[in-house]
């Protein structure tokens, strides 16, 4: 149980650092947020928890494919926020991501990549 609490605290600290840095510098906050910190932490936790190699490598493999359809959300959010406000923009952005992901999953399926 202490190890689980440690993992939560370290992971939460990363999110707090990103948000605090972003308050001071939009660019630096975005740069840090764009780094695959959560993935790096997840891979580290899986390794430390002695998960099999295929579990760890599959996590990295699928993370790549799940990230690919997310850019439309990042492009749409600023415009949606200005036009509709924060919460509607966040909701629309989530919807855009879901639709983009579904379309992307269908597009890569013929190549043997099963995301759904």
Instruction: Tell me what pLDDT residue 14 has.
Output: 87
Taking only the tens place, the pLDDT of each residue in 18-45 is 899 999 998 998 888 888 888 999 999 9
Instruction: Tell me what pLDDT residue 43 has.
Output: 95
Instruction: Tell me what pLDDT residue 33 has.
Output: 83
The more confident residue out of 2 and 59 is 59
Domain boundaries, the chain: 68-116
Instruction: Tell me what pLDDT residue 29 has.
Output: 87
Q: How far is CA 46 from CA 18, 61, 86, in A?
A: 23, 14, 35
- DSSP SS3 for 109: helix
Mean pLDDT, the chain, integer: 93
Q: What percent of the chain has pLDDT over 90?
A: 75
Instruction: Tell me what pLDDT residue 32 has.
Output: 86
């Amino acid at each position: 149980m202490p190890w689980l609490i440690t993992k939560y605290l370290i992971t939460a600290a990363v999110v707090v650092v990103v948000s605090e840095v972003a308050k001071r510098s939009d660019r630096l906050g975005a740069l840090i947020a764009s780094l695959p910190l959560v993935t790096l932490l997840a891979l580290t936790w899986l390794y430390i928890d002695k998960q099999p190699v295929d579990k760890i490598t599959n996590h990295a493999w699928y993370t790549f494919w799940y990230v690919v359809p997310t850019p439309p959300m990042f492009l749409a959010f600023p415009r949606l926020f200005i036009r509709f406000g924060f919460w509607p923009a966040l909701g629309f952005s989530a919807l855009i991501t879901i639709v983009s992901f579904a379309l992307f999953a269908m597009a890569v399926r013929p190549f043997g990549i099963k995301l759904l």
